[in-house]
């Protein structure tokens, strides 16, 4: 699980994005998943801050950093990862699936580098350890990352979409990647809870219900004891299959008792 500082050291970099809605959606995912460093390289529409769909992402859009070129946007990072939908292009780069790639990124963010100066002149200066920063690049909606963009990457990552429709919407791709990066099955929250384990009714409670149900079936005309010899057994098995919970047994018996009463007093108001 990444710390807040480590989350802040992932730079989400959008290159040549055309649609301000996608910038807004990406910013929203950045905020949803607790990241904060959002960088735009050469966005086609510089009026991106008006991105309508960015509910709750205003702060991310305000602090977004805009760069003219990719090298400027990634200069402070030690690991550059590109995202791609492409499978069969002659890639010179390694390609990891999202889940495997996210593990490598998490590990890199969790480590710190010791600058040479700190080692030489100030061996105990733990504070001068340099946090690793990672850039995660997303290309334009139409063309993805260019070959020049790719040449800045250490390796590539892909989302496991199906072969016949590999290309995702940009905002959705960002959301899925960031979700995988914060995914942590070990972490549970206090408000999460499993379905209640229902205590089953005991045989006495089940039998009380069975008896009153049998009476209702008889009174209503559903049950014709002359044609079905083992009617009582059938009804008992029917009720057993219900798995009546203990907490509801009295309620069901009460409901049926009321029905029986009404069947016996059809004209009573």
| Contacting residues toward its own copies, per CB under 8 A | 21, 25, 28-29, 31-34, 53, 55-57, 87-88, 94-97, 99-100, 154-155, 158-162, 165-169, 171-173, 175-176, 179-180, 182-185, 187-189, 191-196
Nearer to its own copies, 199 or 203 (CB): 199
Report DSSP state, residue 124: T
- Buried b / exposed e along 6-15 (16+ C-beta atoms within 10 A): bbbbbbbbbb
Length of the chain: 269
Region of 198 (left: φ > 0; alpha: ψ -120 to 50; beta: rest) is beta
Please provide the DSSP assignment of 17-55 as one string. Answer: ---HHHHHHHHHHHHHTT--EEEEES-S-GGGGG-TT-T
Nearer to its own copies, 3 or 69 (CB): 3
To its own copies, the closest distance from the beta carbon of 6 in angstroms equals 14
To its own copies, the closest distance from the beta carbon of 50 in angstroms equals 16
Nearer to its own copies, 192 or 230 (CB): 192
To its own copies, the closest distance from the beta carbon of 127 in angstroms equals 24
Nearer to its own copies, 100 or 203 (CB): 100
In sequence order, the 6+-apart residues with CB closer than 8 A to the CB of 110 are 2, 6
To its own copies, the closest distance from the beta carbon of 104 in angstroms equals 9
């Amino acid at each position: 699980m990444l710390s807040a500082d480590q989350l802040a050291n992932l730079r989400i970099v959008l290159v040549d994005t055309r649609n301000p809605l996608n910038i807004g959606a990406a910013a929203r995912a950045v905020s949803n998943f607790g990241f904060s460093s959002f960088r735009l390289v050469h966005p086609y529409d510089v009026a991106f801050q008006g991105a309508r769909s960015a509910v709750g992402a205003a702060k991310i859009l305000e602090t977004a950093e805009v760069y003219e070129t990719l090298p400027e946007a990634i200069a402070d990072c030690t690991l550059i990862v590109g995202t791609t939908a492409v499978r069969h292009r002659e890639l010179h780069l390694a390609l990891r699936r999202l889940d495997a790639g996210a593990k490598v990124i998490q590990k890199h963010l969790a480590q710190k580098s010791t600058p040479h100066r700190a080692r030489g002149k100030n061996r105990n200066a733990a504070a001068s350890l340099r946090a690793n920063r990672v850039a995660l690049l997303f290309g334009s909606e139409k063309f993805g990352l260019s070959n020049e963009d790719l040449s800045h990457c250490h390796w590539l990552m892909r989302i496991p979409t199906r072969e016949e429709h590999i290309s995702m919407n940009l905002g959705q791709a960002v959301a899925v990647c960031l979700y995988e990066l914060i995914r942590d099955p070990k972490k549970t929250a206090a408000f999460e809870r499993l379905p209640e384990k229902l205590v089953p009714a005991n045989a006495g409670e089940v039998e009380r219900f069975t008896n009153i149900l049998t009476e209702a079936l008889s009174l209503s005309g559903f049950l014709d004891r002359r044609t079905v010899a083992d009617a009582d057994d059938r009804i008992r098995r029917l009720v057993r299959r219900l798995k009546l919970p203990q907490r509801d047994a009295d309620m069901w018996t009460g409901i049926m008792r009321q029905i029986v009463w009404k069947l016996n007093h059809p004209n009573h108001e």
